[in-house]
Structure 1
Amino acid sequence: MNSSSTFVVLLLHLLAPLILSASPFPYTTTKRSIYASGVTPSGLGESKRFEGSSDLVHLRYHMGPVLSSPIKLYLIWYGQWSPSQKSTIRDFLFSISDSSSPSPSVSEWWSTVTLYVDQTGANVTRSLSIAGESFDSSLSRGSTLTRLSIQQVISDSIRSGLPADHRNGVYLVFTSAGVDVQDFCRAVCGFHYFTFPSMVGHTLPYAWIGYSGRRCPDVCAYPFAVPAYMGHATAAMRPPNGDAGVDGMVSVIAHELAELSTNPLVNAWYAGEDPTSPTEIGDLCEGVYGSGGGGGYTGEVATDGAGRRFNVNGRSGRKFLIQWVWSPVLRACAGPNAIA
């Protein structure tokens, strides 16, 4: 490795706490939320973008890899989780590769992600499976984590038996109620990056997503809770699986997996010129869940017989509400529940 390459690696290590953060809530004043919704709180309802505009977005490929090989997911449950909470999240992950679910389905939603290719012409894979799980209910790293200590949690899980799968592995760290993570609720609901060999022994793509149901559902479980400043502009929706925190997490998981798969090493698909502050395919569509979405409106979504809102079907009759992602073909936000 030459001196310039060494400098770039060191720079990314130093800037890691600052980049690749995601908040699915569309009305904060962060750079990416403005890109995604076209509005700030003072301009609520003024967006003209709706599902997105090709005139405003310059998503480019930067020659890096996408995750084209079958993805093996390794789930790390940090803190206390109920069986029903784990079941909802697992069922969503299983649904990504389950083409038997009725339309509009989770797998159809993922088909937009698979449109992204690398320089060899290989598409993002359609195959995702859960290959292993780790449980740390005792909070061995404490109840307050930094972005770097998330990597220590991954390292602990590998030492406890999870494979260090540097070929196909993606590691998902879920933190439960009562666990504070750097910038959680204040700026982010989840983020993705890759581990440092100095900390974990390998370069492994990973994402962290936190449970917000007790702490900040109005920020990270939108639209199942809405902030007070919105007043009567919109009402909170009933979550499809009965837990606003977990149902909100599902959309953040979808967001992070889509971005991680299309930009795993921060050098593939993103908008903007600065890799330390990329705008990725999920960021471009924050707050959009159906046709007409944008400017404080989620878009057209379905309602079941109990009044719960959803936009995609999963396996075993599950229903989920997940945000749309940017399509490189349509050059707009896209989802399988779009109205023709």
Structure 2
Amino acid sequence: MASFFASKTALPKLFLALCLLQMASATRRLAELVQDQSPPMTYHNGPLLSGKISVNLIWYGRFKPSQRTIVSDFVTSLSSDPSLAQASPSVSHWWKTVDKYYHLSSSKRRTPSLTISLGKQVLDESYSLGKSLTNKHLIELASRGEQRNAINVVLTSSDVAVEGFCMSRCGSHDSAVGSVKVKGRSSRFAYIWVGNSETQCPGQCAWPFHQPQYGPQSPPLVAPNGDVGVDGMVINLAGLLAGTATNPFSNGYYQGEAGASLEAASACTGIYGNGAYPGYAGNLLVDEATGASYNAHGVNRRKYLVPALYDPSTSSCSTLV
């Protein structure tokens, strides 16, 4: 009886295991096929950000000093300054894929290169606009930073609700009319917003450091800086910085239709390393001491997870590892 029961249960389990293996293999092949057939990133004749650009950080709500340092070190790591030592693979090398957009032979105009550096940091720990923000509030906050030769980044704490947050977005980038006039005319400045999703929707906005809310389920990875919410913010900020540089005013580089477009990072959503497929971030580096997963080194011995970027020279998603 025992052997008969075992044989009746073992065969279906073996069959199920083979089916799951085949499905996983098919998923990987499908992901590879999708990546290989990525449509080109089209240039829409608008300006790209160029020259020396400062990234100003506007902290809204309460963040620990250690959390602010994780983000500011990441922005500093984007610089290719040789005096800022970074092990390989590095954040600065990841950013070089963005540089390729500035040197495409198909561009109708030659765009000067872009140099990113950390600018000023503004703290608003008193929630001066409340704890429920609209898009207008984000523009008001972004306006507190420099409006020329800058990207103003608004970062909201985990207890702040933002219009569309967790429902349709984890962050966003746009431009707004500034108060500074250039040659007597109003000019626009670029800004980014990223929210800390730790308590609101980590399964959506902090994956793969949290169990995904939807889709294929896989164990969460250990965050490289020990902060699921802020390490997730870095992923989103990284992608939005790439999109802001190459499509700052909605007429630069993007795929698809305006208003529903895919940019340098969003065209490669969910890919962080080679072999990635839905529910699996890819083959990443692992810190032997902490077990944390990462794919890029930064300044001050930081480790980060950065998203794949669409490489315009190969028309495919490019990863560091």
Place the TM-score, normalised by the shorter chain, in its bin. 0.7 to 0.9
Q: What is the TM-score normalised by the length of structure 1?
A: 0.79
Alpha-carbon displacement from aligned partner over 1:71-114 (angstroms, at most 9, x marks no partner): 11111001111000000000110001145311110001000011
Say which SS state the counterpart of residue 284 (structure 1) adopts: helix
Say which SS state the counterpart of residue 117 (structure 2) adopts: strand
* 2:56 match: 74
Alpha-carbon displacement from aligned partner over 1:49-87 (angstroms, at most 9, x marks no partner): 338535341321111111121111111001111000000
Highest RCO, 1 vs 2 (Cα 8 Å, sep ≥ 6): 1
Shift of the alpha carbon at 1:47? 6.2
Shift of the alpha carbon at 1:228? 5.0
In the alignment, is the contact (CA less than 8 A) between 1:69 and 1:124 conserved in 2? yes
Question: Which 5+ residue runs of structure 2 have no aligned equivalent?
Answer: 1-25
| Residue 332 (structure 1) aligned with residue 316 (structure 2) | yes
* 2:266 match: 283
Give the Cα separation in 1 of the matches to 2:291 and 2:98: 29
Match of 1:259 among 229, 239, 243: 243
Greater gyration radius: 2
* 1:121 match: 110
Say which SS state the counterpart of residue 74 (structure 1) adopts: strand
In the alignment, is the contact (CA less than 8 A) between 1:81 and 1:176 conserved in 2? yes
| Residue 170 (structure 1) aligned with residue 142 (structure 2) | no
Give the Cα separation in 2 of the matches to 1:199 and 1:294: 45
Aligned-pair Cα RMSD in Å: 2.1
In the alignment, is the contact (CA less than 8 A) between 2:215 and 2:279 conserved in 1? no
Question: Which 5+ residue runs of structure 1 have no aligned equivalent?
Answer: 1-43
Say which SS state the counterpart of residue 226 (structure 2) adopts: coil
Give the Cα separation in 2 of the matches to 1:63 and 1:325: 21
Say which SS state the counterpart of residue 85 (structure 1) adopts: helix
Letter in 2 for 1:185: C
Give the Cα separation in 2 of the matches to 1:132 and 1:197: 17
In the alignment, is the contact (CA less than 8 A) between 1:76 and 1:135 conserved in 2? yes
* 2:202 match: 217
Alpha-carbon displacement from aligned partner over 1:145-182 (angstroms, at most 9, x marks no partner): 11122001223x2xxxx4332xx111000001111001
Relative to total residues, which structure has the larger strand share, 1 or 2? 2
Percent identity, aligned pairs only, is 35
Q: What is the TM-score normalised by the length of structure 2?
A: 0.83
Shift of the alpha carbon at 1:141? 1.1
Shift of the alpha carbon at 1:204? 0.6
Give the Cα separation in 2 of the matches to 1:229 and 1:295: 11
Alignment length (residue pairs): 284
